[in-house]
Each structure stands twice: as structure tokens, then as C-alpha cells.
């Protein structure tokens, strides 16, 4: 290969020729001590974003007969001494071994980030159909231990992107995604104005009522409006959120944070259409974006890992990740709704149906899928990330 030296003058050529000797001088003149392998910046990064944290249940609070709050502290007998800091609205993914399966599920942290500095998180769990929530609800006791991921997720207030005035529209257990933001404002960690429209069926379904009353104090930047859809009671509004209600709190620059069921999203999005907002002012939590699939066939999933190949059954109504969990295959995952990319795997053959339209163009071109958000439509071969 010929070098094109056109454009270089004599000075450049001289510098070029002295380069090797300059380098040699630096190399031979350097310290013989071993090269540093730990750097403060790396240590800080891994304390803020640990892959895994070992925790112990310090306390369980019964919020009502269907909801419990778990107070988690570091399990110092394992390797965790300090819990990672988080941004309000982020979640941790809990790993549990249940009946031979390995399950991971995301739970939003419902305490203030200030509490992480005091070395505890809370998560609030509703008993429902899901295997992990039911297990936590019915079997986990004080002093039980398990592992969780570092804080993950993008449903948080970002002052560089979001408006100073925030309206949160939440339904039922969706309050979990917003309560930490309200606590962070109270603790002066966040500086914004927050109005929460909290929609539940009846008064007994309201979560964190004492905290909400306390946050709603006069002259506080936080306003809480609770709507009951199935009963009329003093101190609460009745029915569904209306545009007239929002008009009272909307300012020219307002960010909307939405957390609730799919039907709640649809109704709220209809209301917000009238404001003609750009997308950046509407933030959705994605935990609820799951579709119901009516496919009763059973397929064979062949999973290729670094060491082995395993074939398992998967019915058409469950995601590939759910089938792997049930069969004790430890596949990486965090969000379970196709959002975080942790489970991204190569589809070697077969057809899947994905929900949430979560794949990037590059994923599609290179035949990657998110098993947490993919249902089988034929026998499948996938390769897990190593
Ligand atoms: S677990 Fe997050 S994308 Fe699959």
C-alpha cells in the first residue's frame, strides 16, 4: 500500500520520523509498577448501576387485604453493603426460585431516593394472577433473602427534558410509579410542581392514603386529587378525569406522566389529544402494555445457550421468556415488557408475534427479538445472549 504524503511539509515529516524515538522514551521512562486495574470512576459506576444486589426483607406492611409493602435492606452476609441510589419511578427486578422455575419480575421502588441513602427501598405488591406477585404476597416473610437488579427504567422526571409543571394521571396500583416522585419533591430532591389525579374504584382501594394526605399540605408543590369511579364520598371526586379538571392545573408547559391499565391509557390519551401536545410532554409507564393472545397451540422452543441446547414446550398464550422461566432456564431479563433490551436474543428460526412494537430497525434486520414480549406462532429456535 502506498502512503499518500501529499500536503505534508518538511516539519510534519521531521515530526513523523522522531515519533518512534519519542514513544520509546515515554515507554522506557514509565514506572515499572503494575497498571492500575481499578478506577474511582468505575467503582462509582458499579455502585450506581450494580448488576445484582442481595437484599433481606426487614419489614412487611399490609396496605390492605390485596396489597403489601416490603421494606428491603442490604443482605450484608452476601456481597451487598449499600443499596444503589435510584431515580424516582425506577424499578428493580426481583429474582425468585419457585417450584423449580427461575423468575424475575420488575417492581417499582415506592420509597424516596433519600431512603436509599439510608439503605432501604420499599416495593409495593398487589396480589394478582402473576406467579411472582402471589409468591411474594403469600410466602415471603421478614428476614427472607433474595437478589434484585440495580435500579432500571426510564419513567422518571428529567429536568432537562420535562416541564416544571407535571400532571400525573394514575389508576389503581399505577400510583406505585408516581409516589416516589412525590416523596422526592417533598424531600427537595426534585424541584417541580406535581398534581396527581389518582383514579380508583372505591375508597378502600386507595393506596398510601396517609402519605398522600401528608403530601397534599397547603403551600406544598404537590396536589392530590382522588377520584372514585364506583362510589360517591366526601373529600373525593366521583367519576373519570375530565379535560375541565386538567385545564385547572395545566400550564403552557406541562409534562404528563401516565400510569395505569391499557384502557386507562386509551381514555387518557383521548383527553390529551385535545391539547395537541408533542410526544416529549407525554410519558407512559410501560408495565401495563401487555396484550392478551388467544392461541391455544403448544410449540417447541429450542434454546441455545453458551454451554447447551434445551428444548421446552411453550403454549401460544405465554411469552418465550415465561416458558423459559417455568422450565428453570435462567435467561437475562428486567422489565418484562420489551422495554429494557436485557433479554434481547437471536431468533435462529421460527415465527413470533411481538407486542408493544419494541424492536428497533437494527433488531429486525439482524433477526433479534425480545423473548419477554414475543409469543410463538411456530416451533422456535433462539440463541440467548451470553
Ligand atoms: S426483559 Fe426487558 S426487553 Fe425483555
**CATH numeric code, 298-383:** 3.10.20.30
Two domains, one topology: 165-284 and 298-383: no
Give the Cα separation of 91 and 148 in Å (integer): 10
Domain ranges of the chain: 49-148, 165-284, 298-383
Architecture in CATH for domain 165-284: 3-Layer(aba) Sandwich (3.40)
Residue 96 in contact with ligand 1 by CB distance below 6 A: no
Q: What is the structure's pLDDT at 217?
A: 86
The residue whose CA is least distant from atom 1 of ligand 1 is 333
Could you tell which of 336, 345, 385 is best to mutate to test the pocket of ligand 1, judged by most ligand atoms within 8 Å of the CB? Answer: 336
Give the Cα separation of 230 and 236 in Å (integer): 12
Residue 343 in contact with ligand 1 by CB distance below 6 A: yes
Q: Does residue 233 sit in helix, strand or coil?
A: coil
Q: What is the whole-number distance in angstroms between the Cα of residue 4 and the centre of ligand 1? A: 49
Predicted structure pTM score: 0.83
Q: What is the structure's pLDDT at 1?
A: 53
Q: What is the whole-number distance in angstroms between the Cα of residue 372 and the centre of ligand 1? A: 6
Q: What is the structure's pLDDT at 251?
A: 96
Where do the H-state alpha helices sit in the chain?
10-29, 40-48, 113-117, 131-139, 176-186, 209-215, 243-249, 262-273, 320-326, 361-365
| Residues linked to residue 34 through DSSP beta bridges, in sequence order | none
N residues, the chain: 386
Residue 335 in contact with ligand 1 by CB distance below 6 A: yes
Give the Cα separation of 365 and 384 in Å (integer): 18
Q: What is the structure's pLDDT at 7?
A: 66
In ligand 1, the atom with minimum distance to the C-alpha of 358 is 3
* pLDDT tens across the length of the chain (386 residues): 555 666 667 777 777 777 778 787 887 787 777 777 777 888 778 777 888 999 999 999 999 999 999 999 999 999 899 999 999 999 999 999 999 899 999 999 999 999 999 999 999 999 877 789 999 999 999 999 999 999 999 999 999 999 999 999 999 999 999 999 999 999 999 999 999 999 999 999 999 999 999 999 888 999 999 999 999 999 999 999 999 999 999 999 999 999 988 889 889 999 999 999 998 999 987 655 556 678 889 999 999 988 889 999 999 999 999 999 999 998 999 988 888 889 999 999 999 988 766 777 888 888 999 999 999 999 999 999 87
Give the Cα separation of 120 and 56 in Å (integer): 10
Residue 336 in contact with ligand 1 by CB distance below 6 A: yes
Report the top-level CATH class of 49-148.
mainly beta
Q: What is the structure's pLDDT at 362?
A: 81
CA angle, 295 then 301 then 303, to 5°: 150
Amino acid at each position: 500500500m502506498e502512503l499518500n504524503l501529499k500536503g505534508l511539509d518538511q516539519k510534519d515529516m521531521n515530526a513523523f520520523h522522531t515519533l518512534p524515538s519519542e514513544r520509546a522514551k515515554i515507554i522506557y521512562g514509565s514506572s515499572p509498577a503494575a497498571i492500575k486495574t481499578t478506577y474511582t470512576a468505575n467503582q462509582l459506576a458499579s455502585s450506581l448501576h450494580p448488576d445484582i444486589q442481595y437484599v433481606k426483607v426487614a419489614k412487611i406492611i399490609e396496605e390492605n387485604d390485596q396489597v403489601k409493602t416490603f421494606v428491603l435492606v442490604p443482605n450484608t452476609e452476601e456481597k451487598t453493603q449499600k443499596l444503589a441510589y435510584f431515580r424516582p419511578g425506577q424499578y428493580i427486578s426481583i429474582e425468585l426460585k419457585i417450584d423449580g422455575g427461575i423468575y424475575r419480575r420488575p417492581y417499582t421502588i415506592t420509597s424516596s431516593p433519600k431512603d436509599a441513602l439510608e439503605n432501604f427501598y420499599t416495593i409495593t405488591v398487589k396480589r394478582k394472577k402473576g406467579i411472582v406477585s402471589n409468591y411474594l404476597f403469600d410466602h415471603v416473610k421478614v428476614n427472607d433473602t433474595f437478589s434484585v437488579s440495580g435500579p432500571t427504567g426510564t419513567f422518571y422526571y428529567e429536568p432537562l427534558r420535562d416541564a416544571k409543571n407535571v400532571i400525573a394521571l394514575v389508576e389503581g396500583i399505577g400510583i406505585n410509579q408516581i409516589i416516589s416522585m412525590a416523596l422526592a419533591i417533598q424531600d427537595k430532591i426534585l424541584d417541580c410542581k406535581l398534581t396527581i389525579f389518582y383514579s380508583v374504584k372505591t375508597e378502600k382501594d386507595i393506596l398510601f392514603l396517609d402519605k398522600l394526605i401528608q403530601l397534599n399540605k397547603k403551600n406544598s408543590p404537590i396536589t392530590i386529587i382522588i377520584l372514585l369511579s364506583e362510589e360517591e364520598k366526601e373529600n373525593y371526586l366521583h367519576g373519570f378525569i375530565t379535560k375541565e379538571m386538567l385545564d385547572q392545573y395545566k400550564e403552557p408547559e406541562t409534562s404528563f406522566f401516565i400510569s395505569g391499565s391499557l384502557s386507562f391509557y386509551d381514555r387518557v390519551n383521548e383527553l390529551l389529544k385535545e391539547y395537541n401536545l408533542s410526544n416529549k410532554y407525554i410519558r407512559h409507564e410501560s408495565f401495563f402494555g401487555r396484550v392478551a393472545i388467544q392461541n391455544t397451540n403448544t410449540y417447541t422452543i429450542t434454546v441455545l445457550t453458551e454451554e447447551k441446547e434445551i428444548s421446552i414446550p411453550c403454549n401460544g398464550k405465554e411469552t418465550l421468556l415465561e416458558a423459559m422461566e417455568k422450565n428453570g432456564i435462567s435467561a437475562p431479563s428486567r422489565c418484562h415488557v420489551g422495554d429494557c433490551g436485557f433479554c434481547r436474543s437471536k431468533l435462529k428460526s421460527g415465527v413470533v408475534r411481538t407486542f408493544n412494537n419494541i424492536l428497533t430497525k437494527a433488531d429486525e434486520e439482524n433477526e433479534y427479538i425480545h423473548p419477554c414480549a414475543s409469543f410463538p406462532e411456530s416451533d422456535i429456535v433462539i440463541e440467548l445472549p451470553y
